A and B are shown apart, each in its own frame.
Chain A
Amino acid sequence: MTRFLGLKPDSLLVLASGILGLTASSLKRVIDFGAGAVTTKSFNLEVRKGHKAPSIIPFKNGVLNAVGLSNPGVQEMALEIEKFKKRCDAPLFASVFGRTIEEYGEVIQQLIDRVQPDLIEINVSCPNVRSEFGTPFGDSLDDTARVTEIAKKYAGKIPVSVKLGPHGPGIGRLARVCEDNGADAITAINTVGPGMLIDINVMKPVLSNKTGGVSGPAILPIAVKSVYEVFEHVSIPIIGTGGVTGTEDAIQMILAGATLIGIGTAVYYEGIEVFAKINRGITEYLQKHGRTSIEEIRGKAHE
């Protein structure tokens, strides 16, 4: 059992936002496969169709995606969260975003009027939405501070984690600003980039949006370093996310300072079975190194 902000998930592995996160049925299945907690797809006030396909494309070492924050809107997602809560005791994290700073507050309000998630994750770092919304809020210390402040105000007793990317003014400084404004945790990191893939016959970008965020094995070192840096700057817990597909990756995240570990693109490489596999792997690692708990090695790379 893991302890995280008063929650006691059965595993420290969390399903990352945007992966199998649209419906109660889907989220529940991931819990059945060994995740300790699940995060919903990011949603906002409106119903968004997102970009045309291809919007999610695997490449040799990862996945490039520009789904364009497609989502069925807060009302539909609240229904799914309600359904999940009826069927399952595992913690559920609701990921929200806004097109404006004020919208973050409104989404949270509309959500918690209907249902109480165990944590609200604030997505300020999706690298895909630049062209539409200007730069992500998470690229600016001021915007990140204001979004955190508003989210905390509306979330009330529900803990808030701010999801950051490796871009902008530096993830350590961003995390500090979040902590100063009341954030209860940091999720690090979102997808990296944006990046691009070009078809060499058609001679055009493959994604309909041309660019997209990079996830999967390619970003593991960036994610590990980001978690390491955040750990040096704040004392709130970290959900270390990015490129984790196996036990060794997960252990690196813990050594860098993560309390929970987000798993996303690994579902493509390893199947939903990846959760059970890493759960087992972590137990074996602890035994092999004569440790009785994860706490003994958390952040150990800093010593």
Chain B
Amino acid sequence: MSDLMQTFPIRKIIEHGPGVKSFYFDQTFEVQAGQFINLWIPGVDEKPFSVSHIQDGQIEISVKAYGPFTHRLMQSQPGQLLGIRGPFGHGFTLKDRGLLIGGGIGIAPLRLLARQLHERGLHFVSLLGAVSRHEIIFADEFERLGTCYFTTDDGSKGKKGFVTEDVAAIIETEQIKQVYAAGPEIMFVKLKAILDTLHVPYEFCMERYMKCGIGICGQCVLDDSGIRVCVEGPVLNQDDLQDVTELGMMHRNASGKRSI
């Protein structure tokens, strides 16, 4: 692991679905599921990404095209040099009888979590949701590792609707003791309300605009707790989130000003 900027060649690129690609690099560090790395495209910009898989001495980063940076990343070719710093922050804690809840590209960090839980013989169930069946990436991998529930906005896979609708029922039938979630923040808002009432402990993988990744710039700090997503996060539990008032609300952009 290194906080310092180092560059590595892309070893391999695989397309997983519409606008989703995985990039593979030689593994030079250990990663806890949920931790992130900063990826630098020289001459373009640097952004945080979670590691979605580690296998055969390679780390995998799964990316969905949604902005200028990710579009540029989609055009890169094997052999091209990218900068990697990290891994940063704290990942998920591995516990038994977990429910993994992933929304959209949030499924990526849960994939590594599923693998790490499985390796330790810990039982878990997955609940994955997206707009349509194509966007539920790695579905077969999750299915191979345990029970899976799916929801899609259009009903093309699993139940039509949102992941949050069946959470309480699944927790009950599967005797869930711990929830792990990654995905859009509005999903966290709904989950938090449900889980606080049920008193089920949870860990959410947060995302914020980051400048330094090393806890000094203040860009990723959460109101009103003062918690830094890049150091104390990105995975935060129910206690960390108790004083966070900005969940699902405006947060800071590059200038530090709040925006949607």
Question: A residues engaging B (CB < 8 A)?
Answer: 18-26, 28-30, 32, 41, 47-50, 52-60, 63, 65, 67, 70-73, 76, 197, 199, 201-202, 204, 206, 208, 264-265, 267-268, 271-272
Contacts and interface: CB of A to CB of B under 8 A. Distances in A.
Contact of B257 (A57, A63, A76, A208): A76
The 7 closest A-B pairs by CB, nearest first: A29-B226, A72-B257, A53-B46, A56-B212, A72-B256, A20-B218, A26-B221
Contacts of A26: 218, 221, 226
A23 B221 contact: yes
B223 A20 contact: no
B256 A71 contact: yes
B201 interface: no
A199 B6 CA distance: 7
A265 B256 contact: no
Range for the number of chain B residues in contact with chain A? 35 or more
Contact of B45 (A23, A50, A53, A268): A53
Nearest to A207: B5
Contacts of B218: 19-23, 26, 41
A86 to B, nearest CB: 11
B5 A57 contact: yes
Nearest to B257: A72
B216 A20 contact: yes
27 contacts: A20-B217, A20-B221, A22-B221, A25-B224, A29-B221, A29-B226, A41-B256, A47-B255, A49-B254, A52-B45, A52-B46, A53-B45, A53-B47, A54-B40, A56-B211, A56-B216, A57-B5, A70-B256, A71-B256, A73-B255, A73-B257, A76-B257, A76-B258, A199-B6, A199-B83, A202-B7, A268-B214
A49 B221 contact: no
A70 B4 contact: no
A58 B254 contact: no
Interface in B1-16: 3-7
Chain A binding site: helix, strand, loop or mixed by DSSP?
loop
B193 to A, nearest CB: 22
Contacts of B40: 53-54, 206
Given A47-B255, A58-B4, A208 B215 contact: no
A58 B42 contact: no
Contact of B216 (A47, A50, A71, A267): A267
A244 B223 CA distance: 28
Contacts of B5: 54, 57, 197, 199, 206
Interface in B211-259: 211-212, 214-219, 221-228, 252-258
